[in-house]
């Protein structure tokens, strides 16, 4: 069965992008809710504020490799934003332009470069001032 899946991965996942995710969106949102409730109820955590950072990727590169993954990115980031709103936390709004600037990403196009991390750090610094 595994060999069949590997050989036919592009056919299987072409129209069903959630077939290739490790954590389904509902499970992701449930875990985030549990985490949010834990932060609010745990008296040992003295949290002044929490900043929720969306998932960022080199969108053109990701779309080229996996055309439907942008839909998944939207789903997961929507869950992150919903949790931030629900628990009255800050959601770091990263302009879409961030996704298109290749200088923000490392060689794999998924992880942030020093420049990308610095930009996010500057945005966080503005929030916590």
Q: What is the mean pLDDT of residues 85-111?
A: 86
pLDDT at 8 over 80: no
In the chain the domains, ranked by start, together with CATH numbers, are 22-42+51-128 (3.40.50.1110)
Could you tell me if 28 and 75 are in contact, meaning their C-beta atoms sit under 8 angstroms apart?
Answer: no
> Is the pLDDT higher at 38 or at 10?
38
pLDDT at 4 over 60: yes
pTM of the model: 0.76
> Is the pLDDT higher at 121 or at 63?
121
Give the other-Cβ count within 10 Å of 79's Cβ.
20
Could you tell me if 69 and 31 are in contact, meaning their C-beta atoms sit under 8 angstroms apart?
Answer: no
Q: What is the mean pLDDT of residues 65-82?
A: 86
Confidence of residue 2 (pLDDT cuts 50, 70, 90): low
Task: Give the alpha-carbon dihedral of 87, 92, 95, 101, to 10 degrees.
Answer: -140
């Amino acid at each position: 069965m595994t060999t069949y899946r590997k050989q036919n991965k592009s056919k299987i996942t072409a129209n069903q992008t959630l077939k290739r995710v490790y954590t389904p969106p509902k499970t992701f949102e449930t875990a985030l809710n549990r985490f949010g409730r834990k932060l609010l109820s745990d008296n040992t955590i003295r949290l002044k504020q929490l900043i929720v950072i969306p998932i960022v990727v080199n969108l053109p590169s990701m779309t080229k490799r996996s055309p439907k993954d942008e839909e998944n990115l939207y789903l997961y980031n929507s869950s992150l934003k919903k949790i931030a709103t629900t628990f009255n936390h800050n959601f770091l709004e990263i302009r879409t332009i961030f996704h298109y600037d290749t200088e923000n990403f490392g060689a794999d196009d998924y992880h942030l470069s020093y420049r990308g991390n610095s930009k996010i750090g500057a945005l966080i610094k503005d929030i916590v001032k």
